[in-house]
Amino acid sequence: MTGWLKQLQNEVTEFLFPCVCIGCGKFGDFICVECSRKLPRLLPPVCQRCGKPEPSAHLCTECWKKHKGIDGIRSVFIFEGLIRTAIYELKYYNLRYICRILGKYMADYYRQNNLVGDYLVPVPLHAKRYKQRGYNQSELLAARLSELTGVPMLANALRRVVDNVPQARTASIDERLANVEGIFKCETDLVAGKEIIIIDDVCTSGATLEACSEALRRAGARRTFGFTLTREVLNRS
């Protein structure tokens, strides 16, 4: 779509669906400036590899014990409160335009933390689920991030070949890894020798990102990182 056509489409959309803040109901944006300020940011110190809160700011015990294929994971927010509501709205209530602001949060973090990559690759949905929902929330986030940072997106680099059953939150990391093993295939040689940033809305244990990383590595990716809008942090004091 040409630039002006896209702009027109955005303006028409905004006219037809005026944005209301999902936090306080104020008109203007899906999350207003004040509610944005109060979102639960995942602040340092974090584990250098997996990105979860870690007082030492080096490696967490799990990452010490086990070498992971993925080079690093970072997330903008903790999966709770209003940002959690925003993701539910996006995934289950068809509020796809909320990606404009959610992707902007990711772009701001991307710049502020000097993240670098050759391509953005969204975690794919299984074809069956894509058909049900009509869109992939990770792809929408990656597209917006790409638009704001200029890092190209490879939307179809990965394919989910198995529609895995959602795992119980209490499952161990090994159970989660077993659940997602081999469910992604990389379908392009464009990733060969490149640094890839895998994009998702939520990181729970990191097992999904690991499985994507493995598929990309098999296709020759040089380095792989996970970058998610939110992260589940269990047992927070």
- Residues found near Zn ion in the complex (CB under 5 A): 21, 23-24, 26, 32, 35, 47, 49-50, 60, 63
Query: Closest CB to Zn ion among 76 and 157?
Result: 76
Beta bridge partners of 231: 78, 203
**Nearest residue (CB) to Zn ion, 119 versus 227:** 227
Closer residue to Zn ion in complex, CB, 50/121: 50
Cα–Cα distance, 135 to 71 (Å, whole number): 28
In 68-206, which ranges are continuous DSSP H helix? 81-92, 99-112, 127-133, 137-149, 173-180
* CA 201, 207, 208, 209 torsion-angle sign: positive
**Tokens 């809008």 label which residue?**
229
Whole-number minimum distance, CB 35 to Zn ion, in Å? 3
Radius of gyration of the chain (CA): 18
State how far the Cα of 101 lies from the Cα of 30, in Å rounded to an integer: 7
38/169 with CB nearer Zn ion = 38
Give the shortest CB-8-to-Zn ion separation in angstroms.
28
User: Could you give phi then psi for residue 92, rounded to 5 degrees?
Assistant: -110, -15
> Least distance from C-beta 130 to Zn ion, angstroms?
31
Q: Report, in Å, the least distance between residue 36 CB and Zn ion.
A: 8
Minimum Å gap between C-beta 149 and Zn ion is: 25
Specify the residue, 47 or 143, whose C-beta has the smaller distance to Zn ion: 47
The DSSP H or E segment spanning 217 is: helix 207-218
Output 136 or 213, the one with its CB closest to Zn ion. 213
In angstroms, give the least distance from the CB of 118 to Zn ion. 24
Instruction: Please spell the DSSP secondary structure of 38-85, one letter per residue.
Output: TS-B-PSPB-TTT-SB-TTSS--HHHHHS--SSSEEEEEEES-HHHHH
Residue with tokens 């589940």: 232
